[in-house]
Amino acid sequence: MTAPPIVQLKATGKRFGAGPPVLEAINLEVERGEFISLIGPSGCGKSTLLRLIAGLTPPTAGEIIVDGMTPANAREEVFFVFQDSNLLPWRRVAANVELPLMLRRDLTLKRRERVKAMLELVGLGDAAEKYPWQLSGGMKMRVSIARALSVAPHILLLDEPFGALDEMTRDHLNEDLLGIRARDPFTAFFVTHSVAEAVFLSTRVVVLSANPGRVHRVITVPFPYPRPPELRETPEFLQLLAETSRELRAVRH
Amino acid sequence: MKRHLPWLLPVATGALLIAAWYGLKRLFHVESFVLPAPDEILTAAWRERRALISAVGLTAQGAVLGFLAAVGVGFGLSMFLAFSIRIKQSFYPYILILQMTPVIILAPIFVLWLGQGLPSIVAITFMICFFPVVANTTMGFISVDRNLQELFVMCNATRSQEIRYLRVPGAMPYFLTGVKIAGTLAPIGAITGDFLAGSAQNGVGGIGFMTITYFSQLKTPALFATGMIACLLGFLFVFGVNFLHWFLLHQWHDSLVRKE
């Protein structure tokens, strides 16, 4: 008997008010431990899809089941990494990482040690006492990821987390993210504009079409983990990259 | 030379202005009861030092109490107003009405209710100071970053956690802007209050009261000296609130952190 999918979207649709549907008839089953990238033209509703799974906004059609519960009830198991780092400017780095633990009153994890471990995991052990303004964009994003991981979520939703960073920083953070996941396995939903990023990270890439957002194609990425940086230069990777780009162009009309 | 300019320039300008003051007074034979010379003002300040010191003390007391009441009540009221848009819609017009009624009309009403003296002065200072605190702080509580709010939702934060860890610190810069404005208004409020509702013991009242006394006695140099003291009190207040602003924000807020 196989384990039930951790996230199920059944004919899920979303429209805001009386406007046209943003998402329509989304069907997707995601197994525990998968890394799903969502890619598509702007306005295809990929961020909205993340927000639906987070329970930040309700669907207007169909159903979403997160670990057997409604998204709002499953929030304990989910965390969100926002588009910009979304840190509280008046709290030091360590206090920012500690925030979800404090607010959720999670007593199972020892807070201080957990914060320290998470900061070391993202390579920012020395920055604990700094304020966000003292950090670069890439460092802030690392703090944001440490904060998300602090509550040991089963599901991590990442909304274009590296979109504002330069390519080199982005590649590094991609490698780091996979490294972290190898130690701390979580199911990931990752919204991005970068095909290379999507293919490098994911087990499956979901290509969405726009107006309304629908699943255009789901591409399975066969490469096993751990994935070394050199994977990006192999013909197989480049071929899959080309295929994914073609699919993306097809929906970009 | 260049690095001394920041203090040299204002000192030089001051010296020029004082010279012009003496020159014009001499040139047009202006009487001292119309325009006293700077040294006459200083002499008068020294002669009236006991009256002036106790006047400043009294006025400062009114200003501080009125200011603190305005800051405290203003902060609490803002939190109440920001709690829901319906509450704000219900109450804000009446706060505006209170603000729009001139203090000069409110003063006699306060005297009727509270009598001449400190309570009325505090009430008048409060009326002048509290609106900028309320307007700014309410704005701060309402304009919370949407993404941060969603972060708190993802953390399953309770309403009171959201207020304590998100809204209050987020509103701090706005609140302190209101406090700064209130700080510049407080001494003016207290002097106005003293002028309109002050009382005196043994001929000595607050700064507003002394103004009336010196004016009626045509002690113009002492009148100018009173103005000088009031100005000093104002600076002291501004210095105090600026320090508070710096103290609470210097570690994180964009207005105070130095970015390389």
- Chain mean pLDDT for chain B: 92
Q: Which residues on chain B are in Cβ contact (under 8 Å) with A103?
A: 152, 155-157, 161, 165
Report percent pLDDT > 70 for chain B.
98
Interface mutation vs chain A, best among B144, B145, B150, B151, most A CBs within 10 Å: B151
Whether residues B169 and A99 touch (CB distance < 8 A) is answered with: no
Q: What pLDDT digit, counting tens, does each position of A46-74 carry?
A: 999 999 999 999 999 999 999 999 999 99
Q: Does A82 touch chain B (CB under 8 A)?
A: yes
Residue A34, CA atoms < 13 Å, CB-side half-sphere: 21
Q: How far is residue B32's CA from residue B222's CA, in Å, rounded to a whole number?
A: 11
Tell me: pLDDT of A151 over 60: yes
Closest chain A C-alpha to B157 CA, distance in angstroms = 5
Closest chain A C-alpha to B153 CA, distance in angstroms = 8
- Asked casually if ipTM beats, i.e. exceeds, 0.85, the reply is yes
Tell me: pLDDT of B1 over 90: no
What one-character DSSP code corresponds to residue B204?
B
* Cα-only R_g, chain B: 23
Domain boundaries, chain A: 7-251
Tell me: pLDDT of A99 over 90: yes
Q: Are A123 and A176 in contact, with CB atoms under 8 Å apart?
A: yes
A56, A83, A131 ranked by CB distance to B153: nearest? A56
Q: Model confidence at B258, in pLDDT bands (50, 70, 90)?
A: low
Q: Tell me the DSSP string of B139-150.
A: HHHH---HHHHH
Q: What pLDDT digit, counting tens, does each position of B200-247 carry?
A: 776 678 999 999 999 999 999 999 999 999 999 999 999 999 999 999
CATH T-level assignment (fold) for domain B35-249: MetI-like fold (1.10.3720)
Tell me: pLDDT of B260 over 60: no
Please report the pLDDT score of residue A211 as a whole number.
87
B147, B155, B254 ranked by CB distance to A99: nearest? B155
Whether residues A75 and B154 touch (CB distance < 8 A) is answered with: yes
For the segment(s) A7-251, the CATH number from 3.90.79.10, 3.40.50.300, 3.40.50.720, 1.20.1530.20 is 3.40.50.300
Q: How far is residue A2's CA from residue B37's CA, in Å, rounded to a whole number?
A: 97
B147, B152, B252 ranked by CB distance to A89: nearest? B252
Interface mutation vs chain B, best among A66, A99, A105, most B CBs within 10 Å: A99
Q: Which helix (H) or strand (E) holds A181?
A: helix A167-183
Domain boundaries, chain B: 35-249
Q: How far is residue B160's CA from residue A80's CA, in Å, rounded to a whole number?
A: 22
* Torsion, CA B13, CA B18, CA B24, CA B26, rounded to 10: -150
Whether residues B252 and A78 touch (CB distance < 8 A) is answered with: no
Q: Which residues contact A208 (CB under 8 A, 6 or more apart)?
A: A38, A39, A40, A44, A45, A46, A49, A214, A215, A216, A251
DSSP H helices, chain B, are 5-27, 38-47, 49-83, 85-100, 103-114, 118-142, 146-154, 159-162, 168-197, 207-216, 220-249
Task: For tokens 């982005």, name the residue.
Answer: A170
Judge if the upstream peptide bond of residue A226 is cis by omega within 30 degrees of 0: yes
Structure tokens at B204: 């000595």
Q: How far is residue B66's CA from residue B124's CA, in Å, rounded to a whole number?
A: 8
* CA A145 to chain CA mean position, Å: 10
Phi and psi at residue A35, in whole multiples of 5°? Answer: -125, 105
Tell me: pLDDT of A25 over 90: yes
Please report the pLDDT score of residue A4 as a whole number.
86
Task: For tokens 């501004």, name the residue.
Answer: B238
Q: Are strands A204-209 and A187-191 parallel, antiparallel or unpaired?
A: unpaired
Q: What pLDDT digit, counting tens, does each position of A155-191 carry?
A: 999 999 998 888 988 998 999 899 989 988 899 999 9
Q: Give mean pLDDT, residues B40-51.
A: 94
Please report the pLDDT score of residue A169 as a whole number.
87
Q: Are B30 and B24 in contact, with CB atoms under 8 Å apart?
A: yes
Q: How far is residue A10's CA from residue A30's CA, in Å, rounded to a whole number?
A: 12
